[in-house]
Chains A and B, each alone.
Chain A
């Protein structure tokens, strides 16, 4: 599990760490959207340079970003290969039946590769520099307008932050239960499909039961501490936009403008 980079937070005190989580969340979404504006090599080069310039701002080892690519490596390779072999047009270098390698295919594959890598880098940057609780706060704050149409914003935010809080706990529980059942002679991940599915039962039932117990205990503990519902509560962690957030917004505007100029 220690290899897993998704949702991992690396504590730090860099420019990016201190950004308001709402800015980071919106900026990441916005960035992912404008990556699709790029359509020629100049614009892709521009984006790559900008991304590689932003990453050092977080003062997180580049290794983490490479690790972030690993889980989607298969997808990346698959997409690139599909692009290479199935795009037609431009100069043909090699052909076999309906497979062909063409200049346009190679260019497209390169673009798709850069686009995916940049998107993954940026989302990795978001999760590496933002604790999940801050992200939950950001989502709550951003969803606030929806309360007008009776969307239960505070409840959703509460569920989100509880869910995030219990991810590591449940992961630990999973490992423990797996070990306990292995000690009782269960072979996880061996045998045929039916046998493997059957080994899931001694793992899932204890997990569900402990999740129920945890939920029950948590609800009792929350009520004992005076929780009734999300209405009329004050907040402990208050989010503030600052100078950095304005700078980030400005930088994004420049980036968008640059892309619009460079694209054809």
Chain B
């Protein structure tokens, strides 16, 4: 009955980097994520986070500090809300880690603003909010723990396009401020736009790693592994069939425009 979620996975996530983990459903992405704050402990091998090493023998005690360091936003995070007011719910994480009531409240006010919600939601019940707003409250609740590493499991699943863009922009902002981010997603556009480094999982094994540039060059391989391409790259592939020349496949639309302009007889921008 014991399925193997991950098999012989070895990878390094660098501090301050924006890491994306991709792979089709059931490839072990979520299992890998839950190792990052010891919700799951490895059955063999070790996980090293900062100066802490987690093995199968690590006891469940003293994991508190690790859970604060690694903030985890689960899929459909809105289902973790429970408190009577948004304020209490956001302050819940910090309070669990021993932050004083006044400080936790200040953090709640700050984080609600940071996720782009008006201050008047603070005293409303989280269950009165829309799905998208609830998601933001849940994310604020994780950010309020002031984690050093932010782990996001499909944070924009089920959001409308505007909500998605705003959330992704928020994470990019946090990353620019020095936050380490680990993102699991099926949105290849997000990977192309934001990630510094990509890990590809397939059936519990790490099959590829590198920069998004490197990963997405191998379009056929990705399609073979039931993974998509960023929309820009797909478009460039179709243009290539029509005779356009690309030194490498572009990931972002600006990059594509740059490469297309001289071929269309226009002038290269800047």
Verify B74–A184 contact, CB threshold 8 A: no
Question: At the interface, yes or no: B82 with Cβ under 8 Å from chain A?
Answer: yes
Question: At the interface, yes or no: A91 with Cβ under 8 Å from chain B?
Answer: no
From B11-19, B92-100, B112-120, B240-248, give the one contacting chain A.
B92-100
Once bound together, how far apart are the Cα atoms of A209 and B68, in whole Å? 26
B82 contact from A183, A187, A202, Cβ within 8 A: A202
**Closest CB of chain B to A86's CB: distance in Å?**
40
B92 contact from A2, A202, A210, Cβ within 8 A: A202
Verify B80–A185 contact, CB threshold 8 A: no
Verify A184–B1 contact, CB threshold 8 A: no
Verify A180–B74 contact, CB threshold 8 A: yes
Verify A210–B79 contact, CB threshold 8 A: yes
Verify B1–A185 contact, CB threshold 8 A: no
From A100-108, A157-165, A171-179, A220-228, give the one contacting chain B.
A171-179
Say whether, besides A179-B39, A202-B92, A185 and B77 are in contact (CB < 8 Å): no
Which parts of B71-112 form the interface with A (CB within 8 Å)?
A: 71-72, 74-75, 77, 79-83, 92-93, 96-97
Query: B127: nearest residue on chain A (CB-CB)?
Result: A209
List residues of chain A with CB within 8 A of the CB of B97.
185
Question: At the interface, yes or no: A182 with Cβ under 8 Å from chain B?
Answer: yes
Once bound together, how far apart are the Cα atoms of A119 and B29, in whole Å? 43
List residues of chain A with CB within 8 A of the CB of B96.
184-186
B80 contact from A2, A180, A187, A201, Cβ within 8 A: A180
Verify A205–B93 contact, CB threshold 8 A: no
Which parts of A163-211 form the interface with B (CB within 8 Å)?
A: 173, 176-177, 179-187, 201-202, 205-206, 209-210
Verify A185–B79 contact, CB threshold 8 A: no
List residues of chain B with CB within 8 A of the CB of A201.
82
List residues of chain A with CB within 8 A of the CB of B75.
176
Interface centre among A177, A180, A201 (most CB of B within 10 A): A180
List residues of chain A with CB within 8 A of the CB of B77.
180
Say whether, besides A184-B93, A184-B145, A185-B145, A177 and B79 are in contact (CB < 8 Å): yes
Question: At the interface, yes or no: B234 with Cβ under 8 Å from chain A?
Answer: no
Query: A210: nearest residue on chain B (CB-CB)?
Result: B79
Verify B141–A183 contact, CB threshold 8 A: no
Which parts of B130-157 form the interface with A (CB within 8 Å)?
A: 141-142, 145
Question: At the interface, yes or no: B55 with Cβ under 8 Å from chain A?
Answer: no
Question: At the interface, yes or no: B179 with Cβ under 8 Å from chain A?
Answer: no
Say whether, besides A183-B39, A183-B74, A206 and B81 are in contact (CB < 8 Å): yes
In the A-B complex, the 4 residue pairs with the smallest Cβ-Cβ separation, listed nearest first, are A185-B96, A205-B82, A180-B80, A183-B72
**Closest CB of chain B to A25's CB: distance in Å?**
27
List residues of chain A with CB within 8 A of the CB of B92.
184, 202
**Closest CB of chain B to A68's CB: distance in Å?**
15
Verify B1–A2 contact, CB threshold 8 A: yes
Verify B67–A206 contact, CB threshold 8 A: no
Q: Besides A176-B75, A185-B64, A205-B82, 10 other CB < 8 A contacts?
A: A177-B79, A180-B77, A182-B67, A183-B74, A184-B92, A184-B142, A185-B96, A187-B64, A201-B82, A210-B79
What mask results when residues 16 to 56 of chain B are scored 1 for a CB within 8 Å of chain A, else 0? Answer: 00000000000000000010010100000000000000000
Verify A185–B82 contact, CB threshold 8 A: no
Verify B79–A206 contact, CB threshold 8 A: yes
Say whether, besides A179-B74, A183-B71, A185-B93, A173 and B39 are in contact (CB < 8 Å): no
Once bound together, how far apart are the Cα atoms of A264 and B263, in whole Å? 102
**Closest CB of chain B to A238's CB: distance in Å?**
33
**Closest CB of chain A to B228's CB: distance in Å?**
26
Once bound together, how far apart are the Cα atoms of A187 and B93, in whole Å? 12
List residues of chain A with CB within 8 A of the CB of B81.
206, 209
Once bound together, how far apart are the Cα atoms of A177 and B68, in whole Å? 17
Verify A179–B34 contact, CB threshold 8 A: yes
Query: B71: nearest residue on chain A (CB-CB)?
Result: A183
Say whether, besides A184-B141, A206-B79, A176 and B74 are in contact (CB < 8 Å): yes
